[in-house]
Structure 1
Amino acid sequence: MRKSVGWSSDLIVRPDTPLTNAQRKEFARTVKRAKRDGKIAATAQQTIPYVEMYRNGMCDLGGGLYSKSVQFEDRAYTEVSDDEQVVIFDLYCDLLNYFGPSVGLELSVICYYPDLKTYERDLSIPPSGDALDPVRQELSDFLLHQAAKCKVERRMCLTYTVQAEGLVRALSRLDQIESDVIAAFRSLGSTARPMDGYERLAALHQCLHLDTPQQFKFNWNALIQTGLSSKDFIAPSSFQFKDGRYFRVGASYGTASFLQIDASRLSHTLLNSLLDCDACQIFTIHAKALEHGAALKAVKRKLSDLDKTKIDEQKRATRTGYDYDILPPDLKTYAKEAENLLEALQSHDEKLFMVTILMVHIAPSRQKLENILTSVGGIASAANCELIRLDYQQEQGYMSALPLGVNLVEIQRGMTTSGTAIFLPFRTCEVYQPGGLYYGVNALTNQIIIADRKTLKCPNGIVLGTPGSGKSFFAKREIVHTFFTTDDDQLMLDSENEYTALTEALGGQVIYLAPDSKYYLNPMDLDLSTDVGESPMLMQADFIMSQCELMMANQGNTLMPIERSLLDRCIGLVYREYMKDPKPEKMPVLGDLYRVLKEQHDPRADDLATAMEIYVTGSLSYLNHRTNIDLHNRLVCYNTSRLGQGLKKLVMSNVQKHIWQCTTANRYAGKTTRIILDEFHLLLKEPQTAAYTAEIYKRFRKWNGIPTALTQNVKDLLASPEIENILENSDFVLMLNQGASDRAILAQRLSIAPDELAHVTNSGEGQGLLFFGDKVIPFEDRFPKNTKLYQLMTTKPAEQEPKGGPHAD
């Protein structure tokens, strides 16, 4: 039984009972009186139930009632472990328990169609008038296609209301609640932020144009200049509430319903099930806690009523000759529930809330609206609940669903804290940061993932996956998107000749490092142009010693302390002339160090010179040349695929030094340097290159550097003691398909739940998990193969166009 708000008390009808002629006439007379007395809004603006919206986000609802809202982000819930779900649920209960009897609470989940115009503005890559414009267009089209995969997006906010005498007192109370609520969401693992007046109006505008997305155009100065109200900027073209079971908002049809709960227990997945359909809808929970004493008194009174009913039933059974212990099942059930409720209020941290649960659905036609209601009603019915339309209360239901904090529907039921918290709004993490890069679409929601690694505390990244899972393809896609949308420099360490074609196609610099190449990187290069807080000469001396140590190690020897002292003395002599007049043509080479060692006339110096001889005048003399390449290109690929074992360690170490120098120079120029380290496990096999790589991961953040390591063998990776530092200093981990043993290792190290681990178990290409800061997002990515861009990025030999390998020219 429900009383229609605003109607005479004798007009009480069931929602599914047809009205009699007398009732229809009485409704008509009531409407006529309401119009005459001005109780029915004459305009769409008057329908919206607030008095004034202020810039700081506070809203005057009239009658001394004021509200504010916070918008909060989704977080992973459905796929985390059971233990973590319990923790999240308990923390959410703590959040609800924070609200006392003097504060009204409204949880709003707004489901709406995405605005593709916004995505087009954010994701389109403008042409530059060069030969790469067709590739830019391909990438733009692909990104917009991925954005359009998500049919319905969500906005979640929490609105709280207080009764106060005047704006000042209301603002003081609301601000205190705001800070406490934001802290509570932070403990939940969800980022919440206060909504200012503009954002609240934008949310209202969205709710009032749910089925027909329109751009919200509003400026606070317009209120002063035009004399209009903020309602004029959010109101739809019209409202129609003539039909008792439907309403019209603009050209769309809608209906407001309340959720009647008949089940004794509900699943924590019910809310997501109700909202998991292709429909524009608003789910709203209005809740207000009762005073603890009043709640206990109400429950005890209910128990007394049940006891009286029980006695009456027993007397009736005795009179009719039945066993008085046989009672109606419903009576036993209600009595047990009331006893449990009393125990929860007395012994557990539970409050009693008076709750109204509303759902509003909007569709372009009445038939589609009916289909949506049938679908959602079926889901509710399966959970032993019922979705009941608010007959002749459509206006009150729709306005109560707006995130204002106003409840005009007088249908409530008592629910404990845990009963209210069962409608947990969390589902999965989403990341959409305009200006970021594309990392696939959420595997659960199809929401496009756009993330900016520069916003992370530590943007260092690691990409893990079995062969063929898509590691290199991911790296190339990130390279392309970065190249077209930022001015960042990108340096690639290419040990398998996988990035050469892409680099050349984008106009980058490919440096072929091989014994038969004419491109040289001088290990003796000394950069005096930048100050890194340490003496450049001391750093160079340390590097040269590490190179000599590798030369000795290649011949089965080690560098002794006395030999280090000799080297240190000779290094100073080698750079003496250059330091007097630092010109490129005076830069020393290995042959100069070899000559100075020979001039020492010391047997140990002679031994060092002999060990170095093969790299100066012998078959490995590739390193004995001055640098002859221009590294001032936004895209540089160090191709080491044809390096023999005798040179690989030395050259890789030399490349790492040049990467560091480029990053340092870019930092002083205000640029970001991204470094891609493919076949990462190779760098960790030698102590020198492993230590240098660990330094990159420790210090590059301070120098605007973003390294990304790619590797396939997790066990080899974790065998290096340096990996501990690298993992701890990486807030970006992209995990593709993993082998069984690797999955077990990673699940333990990264605390991956079984349901999450399923996304990297026998998964297809481009499917996996993205760890972005504290967010874990299951993703998938399918790139169209009939594009030029795909041909440039694919690593499958059968799909690649013929291309030249490393060459000396």
Structure 2
Amino acid sequence: MLGRTKSKTKRSTTARDSTPVAAEVEVGARRIDLGSGVAANFVVTGYPAEVGHGWLEPLLTYPGRLDVSVHVEPVPPEMAAHRLRRQRARLESASQTGAEQGKLEDFEAETAAQDARDMAASLARGEGKLFRVGLSITVHAATNEELDAEIGHVQSLAASMLLQARPATYRQLHGWASALPLGVDLLGQRRSMDTTALAAAYPFASPDVAVQTSPTAVLYGLNADSAGVLVWDRWALDTYNTVVLARSGAGKSYFCKLDLLRSLYTGVTAAVIDPEDEYTRLTEAVGGTTLRLGAPGVHLNPLDLALDAGATRDALSRRALFLHTLLAVMLGGPLSARQRAALDQAVITTYRNAGITADERTWSRPAPLLGDLAATLGAADDEHARDLALQLAPYVSGSYRELFAAPTSRRPTGHLVSWSLREIPEELKGVGTLLALDGIWRGVAEAAPDHPRMVLVDEGWLLMSTPEGARFLYRLAKAARKRWVGLTVATQDAADVLGSDLGKAVVANAATQILMRQAPHTIDTIAHTFALSEGEKQHLLTAAPGDALLCSGDQRVAFQVVASPFEHQLITTNPAEEAPDRDGPETDVSLDLSQSQLDEEDDDLL
């Protein structure tokens, strides 16, 4: 119970519970003793005239133990309109009376009248609603001396925010109960707010990165420097590309899969190049499509024109140009001028022999195979053409022929397509990455940019290890924005990527740059490229798995990647966690991409 000055409540003992309990609650006029510590409750009675985005963040990121309770009660539109009319009438009447009596203007009353007028107009247009909002603060400490110091800090912080925090005198028990997760407001000190002001109090904002929330924003993790979270929208930046640099075991793929999964909730369609078959479980859970290159019966014809989605012009010329890049990657080096000329002539001849010309009506005919191109090169009089045919022998009739031996077996479509390269030999990983990326890009190059698309290239160093592959990736990074495509390149070989001009250009074209734990021999290169401070260098050298540093222009924020248990089950690559439980049956994981499921997962995480 609550007395006039102080009351004490103790738990009584019974015959069944003979052990006395020391826990007690002592309620005073301006503080409450909770047994394990003391607390003081304050109620906010005054607010600033204008607030910005995340205006409650200073209180939410206070380094001490502080409970901030916000109680929101919607006001019915009819009642809100009636209250606003009465308030406007009272304020304007007071202003007119003061003017008639010769008093000076009350600027606070004028401001309040203008605010009421704007709020009434917004309510009439249906642009917002009216709410009754109560804000209370509970300060905790171990002793009374520490509590006095904490109260001074909190009151100074509230004053700097233009908040009037009054002690809940003789109502400490009411204030403490209002801060509990019970949904009751026993203090009853409310203030009218419109939708905009209430939305600005949304607590999930980062004090280090000022990004407005939007339907395409994604939760990246917990801010390492505050108690907030990091919500990032790559689609609101100048370019939509992202680069992720980390050493092996730092959590690079874990972050990429989590970003991919949460992006799917926002309506983004995606395609993934998966070198180690790490995205298959996630792809199957969301109803996506997995294409395993290198598996028996799976073929991909690089000369196939039908993979171009809605191509209506120069498809044949673009195929010829891509074949120059493909052969350069296959043969491990750039082609000479004579080799390029011989290859170009052979490509035109090979298509002509198949009945395909520059006439669009012929593009639907069956395309020739890589073996047909090699045969054309071998039959040419040019020695450079014959040399190319000889070097293509392993891909046509040798150990690497399985992928190119037949027409394209499958043209995957869907909201998530994963190109798995695990079945491809290590010597073909770079070629497979290029073929998969080409197949993905042909699907979006001519498609209408009616929604955002993500292209994720895991272990991008496989492609960037060759000059032609790096040049191809650079061209895609430059052209992605025009087609509403965000290219994500993740690699663990940061030194090689940043050691070439093309690699630096790919990184420079990414507005979002994620740095995770780095090896000592690469940290100097990373620090020079991203202009890291000494503290940021040490953070990356000692970062635990999942710790990351986000860089975007002049903005820097350290964060920790955090997934809910449901998400973790889909994206983890820890062998001990992936292994089925020997004591129980295996369970299938399924995912319903609905908004209700997303809300539940966010609740589990936060």
TM-score normalised by length of structure 1: 0.49
Cross-structure match for 2:509: 729
Check the 8 A contact 1:460/1:730 in 2, yes or no.
Answer: yes
Q: Secondary structure at the match of 2:262?
A: helix
Q: Secondary structure at the match of 2:273?
A: strand
Determine if the alignment matches structure 1 residue 593 to structure 2 residue 451.
Answer: no
Cross-structure match for 2:417: 636
Check the 8 A contact 1:432/1:448 in 2, yes or no.
Answer: no
Alpha-carbon distance in 2 for matches of 1:651, 1:48: 64
Cross-structure match for 2:229: 448
Alpha-carbon distance in 2 for matches of 1:276, 1:662: 58
Deviations 1:424-449 (A, max 9, x none): xx963354614211100112222122
Q: CA separation of 1:462/1:364 partners in 2, compared to 1, >3 Å: closer, same or farther?
A: farther
Aligned residue identity for 1:564? R
Aligned residue identity for 2:87? S
Aligned residue identity for 2:375? R
Cross-structure match for 1:502: 282
Cross-structure match for 2:158: 282
Alpha-carbon distance in 2 for matches of 1:276, 1:642: 61
Matches within 5 A, 1:351-362: 360-362=164-166
Check the 8 A contact 1:211/1:280 in 2, yes or no.
Answer: no
Check the 8 A contact 2:291/2:418 in 1, yes or no.
Answer: yes
Q: CA separation of 1:535/1:502 partners in 2, compared to 1, >3 Å: closer, same or farther?
A: same
Determine if the alignment matches structure 1 residue 800 to structure 2 residue 578.
Answer: yes
Q: CA separation of 1:252/1:487 partners in 2, compared to 1, >3 Å: closer, same or farther?
A: closer
Check the 8 A contact 1:519/1:628 in 2, yes or no.
Answer: yes
Cross-structure match for 1:58: none
Cross-structure match for 1:214: 72
Q: In the TM superposition, what is the alpha-carbon distance from 1:364 to its structure 2 partner?
A: 6.2
Q: Secondary structure at the match of 2:525?
A: helix
Alpha-carbon distance in 2 for matches of 1:766, 1:538: 45
Determine if the alignment matches structure 1 residue 565 to structure 2 residue 345.
Answer: no
Aligned residue identity for 1:654? L
Check the 8 A contact 1:252/1:362 in 2, yes or no.
Answer: no
Q: In the TM superposition, what is the alpha-carbon distance from 1:685 to its structure 2 partner?
A: 0.9
Q: In the TM superposition, what is the alpha-carbon distance from 1:596 to its structure 2 partner?
A: 3.1
Determine if the alignment matches structure 1 residue 627 to structure 2 residue 408.
Answer: yes
Cross-structure match for 2:434: 653
Q: How many residues align?
A: 455
Deviations 1:643-689 (A, max 9, x none): 224433332222221121122144x1513221111122222211111
Matches within 5 A, 1:208-607: 211-215=69-73, 223=81, 227-229=85-87, 282-284=158-160, 360-362=164-166, 428-431=208-211, 433-435=213-215, 436-483=217-264, 485-514=265-294, 516-526=295-305, 535-551=314-330, 553=331, 559-576=335-352, 577-579=355-357, 581-582=361-362, 586-607=366-387
Deviations 1:663-719 (A, max 9, x none): 2144x1513221111122222211111111111222211111111122223222211
Alpha-carbon distance in 2 for matches of 1:463, 1:362: 48
Determine if the alignment matches structure 1 residue 701 to structure 2 residue 481.
Answer: yes
Q: Which runs of 5+ in 1 are unaligned?
A: 1-46, 50-66, 75-108, 115-146, 154-209, 235-248, 256-272, 286-357, 373-394, 399-403, 405-425, 804-809
Matches within 5 A, 1:155-194: none
State the identity %. 23
Aligned residue identity for 1:544? L
Q: In the TM superposition, what is the alpha-carbon distance from 1:451 to its structure 2 partner?
A: 1.7
Larger CA deviation: 210-219 vs 539-548: 210-219
Q: In the TM superposition, what is the alpha-carbon distance from 1:507 to its structure 2 partner?
A: 2.1
Alpha-carbon distance in 1 for matches of 2:542, 2:405: 48
Alpha-carbon distance in 2 for matches of 1:770, 1:430: 13
Q: In the TM superposition, what is the alpha-carbon distance from 1:226 to its structure 2 partner?
A: 7.2
Larger CA deviation: 579-588 vs 703-712: 579-588
Q: Secondary structure at the match of 2:542?
A: coil
Q: CA separation of 1:768/1:528 partners in 2, compared to 1, >3 Å: closer, same or farther?
A: closer
Deviations 1:372-408 (A, max 9, x none): 9xxxxxxxxxxxxxxxxxxxxxx9xx9xxxxx9xxxx
Alpha-carbon distance in 1 for matches of 2:134, 2:323: 75
Alpha-carbon distance in 1 for matches of 2:153, 2:318: 59
Deviations 1:127-161 (A, max 9, x none): xxxxxxxxxxxxxxxxxxxx9x99979xxxxxxxx
Among residues 689, 692, 701, which one is paired with 2:469 in the alignment? 689
Alpha-carbon distance in 1 for matches of 2:46, 2:327: 78
Check the 8 A contact 2:329/2:469 in 1, yes or no.
Answer: no
Q: Secondary structure at the match of 2:373?
A: helix
Q: CA separation of 1:595/1:152 partners in 2, compared to 1, >3 Å: closer, same or farther?
A: farther
Aligned residue identity for 1:563? Q
Alpha-carbon distance in 2 for matches of 1:152, 1:760: 31
Alpha-carbon distance in 1 for matches of 2:504, 2:409: 37
Q: CA separation of 1:792/1:212 partners in 2, compared to 1, >3 Å: closer, same or farther?
A: closer
Alpha-carbon distance in 2 for matches of 1:492, 1:662: 13
Q: CA separation of 1:253/1:636 partners in 2, compared to 1, >3 Å: closer, same or farther?
A: closer
Q: Report the structure number with the largest CA radius of gyration.
A: 1
CA RMSD of aligned residues (A): 4.4
